A and B are shown apart, each in its own frame.
Chain A
């Protein structure tokens, strides 16, 4: 990569001297345009970085005051009575955990299908990959509506499991994508060696290819976990939220994002303060997972 810079500099040098270009005026204009464009690229990058730091700064400034013991051990209470986020934190952990437990195996299987069965059903595989990519960016609030119609309406009540199902629909496409990509990186010689030893195909896939791609696949699952743990829209109509301590997936269940949503718009100061604390917690968790994963990935790839 360092070579790229040398090439660039060496290549622009004749242009800077500009002697063989003839017209010095147009040459100067071209250099001015180049300077301005370069400056604008710098400005764009700095502006977006500023946004990121502004978000993190506001989160820390407004949320750090609520990082007290009681926030983690006490359930949500009516305004003015103190209270914490314990039920929301527990609910979020349960629902995202269930969502990954449901979604990751399905995503793994589909990822295996897309990577390993190309020879036999190519057409169908292209369609499945296309649909999975569509699901990856489908509006998450519509996922919530869908689960509301097929789970909440028939069962007659909101439930944590409905929330987990909605989230799992968002987990699947992420896991599919990374599993397929990682399985395709497994060298052919490894498969050939395993097949030559007489192993059936499913054992080759599960115990040789998948094991070789283990780190990448785990990364995909972690990224999916990070993505769904901040999702609010799919939970609004599925797990609804719960002011009391409840860990039963069959009952309405609180979650951090929904609690944040309910509290952020409230007129009570202690509620908005708790909303900021919840927001800080969830963002810190998600960014932590992302940074860990990216550092790990970078090390493996290089």
Chain B
């Protein structure tokens, strides 16, 4: 509208000043919209959660109960499940992502690295519900028939870490959830790592090779110290994604309100709890409010992680 009105007289000074002012206002409004989006999300969650926090107080966070019959709700189990699956995912994904990033930048020839890198990025584009179906059809039976019975008979008898690997081999549970999340976030972390490794000045690596270092020593002693901040930032970015993942985890976590030592036992996460229970909770009920409160907690956890990640990644970008 504005464009057509001003274009015939665009060369006159008045119209030019007007056009610029209008344009600047429009883009600033759009920018404010972004702030309102995130601010609104936090505010709406907090507002919806007020009933639960008023009823249960801060103890909501450490209360293990989730009982719609007695109207007694607590977020301890989903928070536990969210953190356990996300940390398991990180523990599994970081070595994989690091290996891939080193392979792409240091081992493979440039042409092959381009193709394989694209394939791995395609894995990041696969929607999370597809991972869920794949996990349910492939990973869960595999875990139930092979991995969990085997681990229960071997690792389960080791003193100290034994309790982690005992329990009925359902196939679904924290470990399977963590594994699905690991596959999902590995491409993200390896993409960040690869970009940092590639941005490193070649002369640093070349002089290290020139001094007779092996490839692994260059990676371990030169590349890793140089890129540590960004690598940690990338890992935090992956953690942030793992915390908020919904559909994939809903398929494989088993959906039980449960806290325990066994990695094989079914559990839930905040996101899977909301996905499953929100459709059957009435607006304004205590359960509704408790779900919003759990969502609010997830918001805080994941925003905290993402803020750390962005700050770490930005430090590097600014220092370069």
Contacts and interface: CB of A to CB of B under 8 A. Distances in A.
Binding partners A and B: yes
Interface stretch (A35-43, A74-82, A186-194, A211-219): A35-43
Given A139-B244, A149-B48, A59 B130 contact: yes
A142 B295 contact: yes
B23 A141 contact: no
A226 interface: yes
Contact of B215 (A38, A232, A236): A38
Q: What range describes how many residues of A lie at the interface?
A: 35 or more
Most chain A Cβ neighbours within 10 Å, of B27, B136, B206 = B27
Given A49-B119, A113-B28, A11 B125 contact: no
Contacts, number: 280
B41 A142 contact: yes
A70 B306 CA distance: 45
Interface string A273-287: 001100100110011
A31 B214 contact: yes
Contacts of A294: 118, 121
B38 A131 contact: yes
Interface stretch (B65-73, B93-101, B158-166): B93-101
Given A134-B307, A146-B41, A146-B44, A141 B244 contact: yes
Nearest to B184: A51
At the interface, is chain B mostly helix, strand, loop or mixed?
A: helix
Contact of B216 (A34, A172, A260): A34
B151 interface: no
Contacts of A71: none
A266 B320 CA distance: 53
B95 A55 contact: no
Interface string B118-133: 1111110111111111
A25 interface: no
Given A15-B212, A142-B299, A290 B103 contact: no
A153 interface: yes
A150 B310 contact: no
A201 to B, nearest CB: 5
Given A4-B110, A236-B275, A52 B30 contact: no
B102 A41 contact: yes
Contacts of B215: 8, 12, 34, 37-38
Given A137-B240, A139-B271, A264-B136, A34 B100 contact: no
A49 B116 contact: yes
Given A135-B34, A226-B125, A12 B209 contact: yes
- Chain A binding site: helix, strand, loop or mixed by DSSP? helix
Interface of A: 1-2, 4-5, 7-8, 11-12, 14-15, 20-21, 30-31, 33-34, 37-38, 40-45, 47-49, 51-52, 54-55, 58-59, 62, 106, 109-110, 112-114, 117, 121, 124-125, 127-128, 130-135, 137-143, 145-146, 149-150, 153, 169, 172-173, 176, 198-203, 205-206, 226-227, 229-233, 236-237, 257, 260-261, 264-265, 275-276, 279, 282-283, 286-287, 290-291, 294, 298
27 contacts: A4-B202, A5-B110, A31-B214, A44-B100, A45-B104, A45-B116, A48-B187, A52-B122, A55-B130, A106-B33, A110-B34, A112-B27, A113-B28, A133-B310, A137-B240, A139-B244, A141-B246, A141-B275, A143-B41, A226-B125, A237-B279, A260-B129, A282-B127, A283-B127, A286-B126, A287-B122, A287-B126
* The 6 residue pairs across chains A and B that have the minimum distance between CB atoms: A230-B127, A139-B244, A44-B99, A11-B209, A1-B110, A202-B23
